Amino acid sequence: MRYFIYLEFDGSAYSGWQIQPHSPSVQQTLEQSLALFLRQDVSVTGAGRTDAGVHASEMVAHFDLDEPQDCAWMQNKLNGILPADIAVHRIVPVKADAHARFDAISRTYKYYVTLNKSAFNRDYSWFLPNEPDFEMMNSAAEILMKTVVFTSFSKLHTDTKTNDCRVTEAKWEELPDGWWVFTITADRFLRNMVRAIVGTLMEVGRGKLTVDGFQRIIESKDRCSAGDSAPAQGLFLHKIVYPDNLFLI
C-alpha cells in the first residue's frame, strides 16, 4: 500500500531533505521514526531536495507498506516520535504507482526578507539593512515567466537531463512590518534555482544589474554570470500540487 505524507519542517538543524553520510537529514529522521513504531524498514521518497537550512511549510513524500494501516493512527504516532522541528499534517492513501516527485503538477516556493533586524527571525528570513528597489526586481522577475531554460540559475554538475522549467508565477509582495516575500511557482525546479534567482534579483534591486542585464544572464546559460545564491534560511517550500486522480480518498 502506498501513502503520501504531508509534513512541515524547520530546516535549521538539518543538512537538507536528502540522507547524507555524516549529517542529520529530514528524510533520515522521518524514516527512522516510521520504522520505530511500524517495526519494519521504511523507505521514504520526497517530492524534491531542499538544501541545508531551507524550510518547508509543505513537503510531500511517499512510502510503501506491506499491509494497510490507519492514516490517523500513523500521523499521531509520528507526531509523538518526531522531534519538535518536524510535524506531519496528514497521511493519505494513493495509487500504487503514484510518485511524490514525478507526479507533481507544480511546486511553490516563498523567500522571505525583512528590513527590520530581529534576534528571533534570523533563521527564517534574510535581513536587508538597505531597502532594494522591489519594483525593479518585479520587472526583472516577469522575465522568468517567459523563460524556458534556467541553466544560469542551476547548481553546476547536476544529474538532470534538462534545465527546462515552466514558471507560472514570480513576484515580490510587501507584507506588514517591513517584510517582503518572493513567491515563485513552476512545474519543476533545478537545484539551488530559487536561491540563485533571488540572489540575482537582489543585484537588480541594489542597482548593480539592470533588467536588460538580468535578461542577458538568462540568455548566457552560465551560472557563473548570475549573482550569488541568497542565504538558505529565508527559503520555504510552500506548496506542492498533484492530480486528484492519484488519491484513493
Last-in-domain residue among 77, 102, 127: 102
Q: Does the annotation count 66 as an active-site position?
A: no
Residue-level pLDDT at 72:
97
Are 21 and 137 in the same domain?
no
Last-in-domain residue among 41, 69, 102: 102
Return contacts of 103-106, CB within 8 angstroms, 24+ apart.
103/242, 103/243, 103/246, 104/47, 104/48, 104/60, 104/187, 104/188, 104/240, 104/241, 104/242, 105/187, 105/241, 105/242, 105/243, 106/168, 106/185, 106/186, 106/187, 106/239, 106/240, 106/241
Q: Which of 10, 41, 51, 133 is catalytic?
A: 51
Which CATH number goes with the domain that contains 233? 3.30.70.660
Residue-level pLDDT at 156:
73
Q: Which residues of the chain have pLDDT under 70?
A: 157-159
The sign of the dihedral angle between the CA atoms of 92, 93, 99, 102 is: negative
> Is the residue at 136 inside a domain?
yes
> Is the residue at 93 inside a domain?
yes
> Is the residue at 67 inside a domain?
yes
Are 113 and 232 in the same domain?
yes
**HEC sequence for the chain:** CEEEEEEEECHHHCCCCCCCCCCCCHHHHHHHHHHHHHCCCCCCEECCCCCCCCEEEEEEEEEECCCCCCHHHHHHHHHHHCCCCEEEEEEEEECCCCCCCCCCCEEEEEEEEECCCCCCCCCCCEECCCCCCHHHHHHHHHHHCCCCECHHHCCCCCCCCCCECCEEEEEEEECCCCEEEEEEEECCCCCCHHHHHHHHHHHHHCCCCCHHHHHHHHHHCCHHHCCCCCCHHHEEEEEEECCHHHECC
> Is the residue at 245 inside a domain?
no
Are 11 and 98 in the same domain?
yes
pLDDT digit string, tens, across residues 192-201: 999 999 999 9
Are 173 and 224 in the same domain?
yes
> Is the residue at 243 inside a domain?
no
CA distances from 230 to 62, 112, 128, 218 (A): 29, 10, 11, 17
Which CATH number goes with the domain that contains 59? 3.30.70.580
pLDDT digit string, tens, across residues 215-227: 999 999 999 999 9
Last-in-domain residue among 61, 80, 102: 102
Are 86 and 134 in the same domain?
no
> Is the residue at 244 inside a domain?
no
Are 118 and 92 in the same domain?
no
> What is the residue range of 182's domain?
106-238
245 Cβ neighbours under 8 A, 6+ residues apart: 95
Are 94 and 111 in the same domain?
no
Are 85 and 51 in the same domain?
yes
Are 233 and 129 in the same domain?
yes
Are 211 and 160 in the same domain?
yes
Are 113 and 193 in the same domain?
yes
Number of domains in the chain: 2
Residue-level pLDDT at 159:
67
> Is the residue at 162 inside a domain?
yes
Residue-level pLDDT at 239:
98
Specify the pTM. 0.95
Are 213 and 122 in the same domain?
yes
